[in-house]
Amino acid sequence: MTALMAFRGPIPAAFSDEIGSESQKPLAIAVVGGMTGTIVFFNLVPVLYSLSRHREPHARAGEMAH
């Protein structure tokens, strides 16, 4: 939820062409791009990992002590 709000907050500044946006626009674009990458990374990597790994218990797993 925090990452989502940090992503949504600077979107108006990233697309603004008003007076004074020359100084805020580059930072807003960097924040939006970084948060987009973070959101994609934290959602995509676990999905890809679960798709790539087929986990079966070892044949002798029941004999092992815990």
The string of pLDDT tens digits covering residues 13-46 is 888 888 888 888 999 899 888 888 888 888 898 8
- Counting the structural domains of the chain, the total is 1
40-45 LR contacts (CB < 8 Å, sep 24+)? 42/3
Is 66 part of any domain? no
Is 63 part of any domain? no
pLDDT at 57 over 70: no
Question: Which of 12, 47, 18, 55 has its CA nearest to residue 31?
Answer: 12
Domain holding 5, by residue range, is: 1-16+25-51
Is 59 part of any domain? no
Is 44 part of any domain? yes
Is 9 part of any domain? yes
